[in-house]
Amino acid sequence: MIDLTIAQTNQGLKEGKFSATELTQAYLDRIDQTDDKLHSYITITKDLALEQAKKVDEAGDFSSPLSGIPMNLKDVVCTSGIKTTACSKILENFVPPYNAHVYDRLLDAGAILLGKTNTDEFTHGSSTEHSYFGVTKNPWNTEYVSGGSSGGPAASVAADQCAFSIGTDTGGSIRQPASLCSCVGLKVTYGRVPRYGVMSYGSSFDTIGPFAKTVEDAAIVLKAIAGKSEKDATTPDVPVPNYTDFLKEDLKGVTIGIPKEYYGEGVEQETADVINEGIDVLKKLGAEVIDISLSLTKYAIPTYYLLAKSEASTNLARYDGIKYGHTTDDAKELEEIYMKSRQEGFGDEVKRAIMIGTYALSAGYYDAFYLKAAKVRALMKKEFEDAFAKCDALITPTSPFPAFKIGEKADDPLAMYMADVLTVPINLAGVCAMSIPGGFSKDGLPIGMQIIANQYKEENLFHVGHAFEKATEWHAKKPNL
């Protein structure tokens, strides 16, 4: 039953084929059997999950599509009374006193929490190699990374260790690991899902979204978590449609743009070939395909890293050894507490983020770096607006290459940043995008197809993604574990 989709599971629960408790136990067994190999989970909330499942079974109400559905949360999503570590030493033993709004919405919908999953420290990274608790391995080949930062959520969905997961995407942290592990990963429009209670990376970029086994499942989860919240002032009053109404199997009347810059330098030929084959499938389904140019794409990495690391350096200022988290036991006066607690508590990539960000925001460099990047961002947003005046969705590879070997890029920050070259422009423009299984490399590693749509047009992603999924078998392939 652990390989069923959410809709199939809901049907099984309704028909009494299995109980929520049996289902939850099956997922817990799967985690028990496979997580030594993968290390997706940081915390497993077995007792809580079985308690939640029992309550759902007793109530016997499966009218909510997520009632009794077991899931996990990336370990930056606060869970009251349950450790939430950001996979950082500085929050190693942090137990939040309240729930993130997204978790509350999922609890209201009847979902069951299996545990908390791995991420690069404070979501800074593209491989989970920056997690204080160690790397999450790729379910398709455990010598390779799962991607990041949401490597734990992606691997856990691909390996059937949960029905769905919730991650965060600041520059690609949902889509890139979804691509590397072969599952669906949705980066919503900025502000579509409230961020209250989720630890921040870059506040003008951060989004929350689902990992799922199918496009339909992602649409079901988004419906439950999207919409305006009093607790997050950046969530606008834009209606949340019934996303599942948009799941059609043909693409007649749909115009798809192909931005040539996403197939050029730095993108492996095999990856480009797989996505081009996917575009042929979309054409056969009735889509009109046109060429688009996004000429500023090559500036996305420096623009993104200057802005995101600047925002991160300010967000990370709250970890000072005073209010919560790790504090040094080797300080006599206040400033020494700050300096040493942060030195001892933060890992390498987070320290680098603080340094880059502080530099870019410091007097004398603000105009040349931060402000310059914020202006280039405005131009990139305009370029996307112009593109979406001509088409309903864009199709690109999600990642320029399939999963890389553990250790291959760990000591070269610029090489690691390049893994995000096709995902960060979407966060810069605040639009939405989704990675879906698009094929495999000759070495058997997954290759994701990225669908991009305008702000608050998630339904376009679901339409195109669902039609592709129904016409192909990639999403149904499972790793051998």
Segment near other proteins (CB under 8 A), from 54-62, 135-143, 210-218, 320-328?
320-328
Compose the 370-409 pattern: x for residues touching other proteins by CB under 8 A, - for all others. Answer: -xxxxxxxxx-x----------------------------
Please name the helix (run of DSSP H) or strand (run of DSSP E) that holds residue 467, with its range, or none. Answer: helix 458-471
Compose the 56-95 pattern: x for residues touching other proteins by CB under 8 A, - for all others. Answer: --------------------------------------x-
To the query of whether residue 229 is one of the catalytic residues in this protein, the response is: no
Contact of 163 with 27, CB cutoff 8 Å = yes
Nearer to other proteins, 47 or 329 (CB): 329
To the query of whether residue 149 is one of the catalytic residues in this protein, the response is: yes
Task: State yes or no: residue 99 binds other proteins (CB under 8 A).
Answer: no
Strands 288-292 and 255-259: parallel
In 3D space, the residue among 59, 63, 52 whose CA is nearest the CA of residue 23 turns out to be 52
Output the CA angle 212-218-224, nearest 5 degrees.
Answer: 120
Catalytic residue from among 173, 200, 310, 341: 173
Compose the 110-149 pattern: x for residues touching other proteins by CB under 8 A, - for all others. Answer: ----------------------------------------
Output the smallest distance, CB 368 to other proteins, in A: 8
Amino acid type, 74: K
Task: State yes or no: residue 320 binds other proteins (CB under 8 A).
Answer: yes
Site for other proteins in 266-305 (CB under 8 A): 296, 298-299, 301-303, 305
In 109-205, which residue ranges form alpha helices assigned H by DSSP?
Answer: 151-158, 175-181
In 3D space, the residue among 341, 373, 338, 335 whose CA is nearest the CA of residue 357 turns out to be 373
Output the smallest distance, CB 401 to other proteins, in A: 19
Distance CA 224, CA 231 (A): 16
Q: SS3 of 427, please?
A: helix
Please name the helix (run of DSSP H) or strand (run of DSSP E) that holds residue 354, with its range, or none. Answer: helix 348-361
To the query of whether residue 441 is one of the catalytic residues in this protein, the response is: no
Q: Bridge partners of 449?
A: 397, 436
Q: SS3 of 418, please?
A: helix
Distance CA 423, CA 435 (A): 10
Compose the 336-375 pattern: x for residues touching other proteins by CB under 8 A, - for all others. Answer: -xxxx-xxx-x----xx-xxx-xx--x------x-xxxxx
Q: Bridge partners of 437?
A: 448
Amino acid type, 108: D
Compose the 434-473 pattern: x for residues touching other proteins by CB under 8 A, - for all others. Answer: ---------------------x------------------
Amino acid type, 410: A
Distance CA 300, CA 417 (A): 11
Catalytic residue from among 146, 149, 179, 313: 149
Task: State yes or no: residue 333 binds other proteins (CB under 8 A).
Answer: yes
In the complex, the residues that contact other proteins under the rule CB under 8 A are 94, 97-98, 189-191, 204, 230, 233-234, 236, 296, 298-299, 301-303, 305-306, 313, 317, 320-327, 331-335, 337-340, 342-344, 346, 351-352, 354-356, 358-359, 362, 369, 371-379, 381, 413-414, 428-430, 455
Catalytic residue set: 74, 149, 173
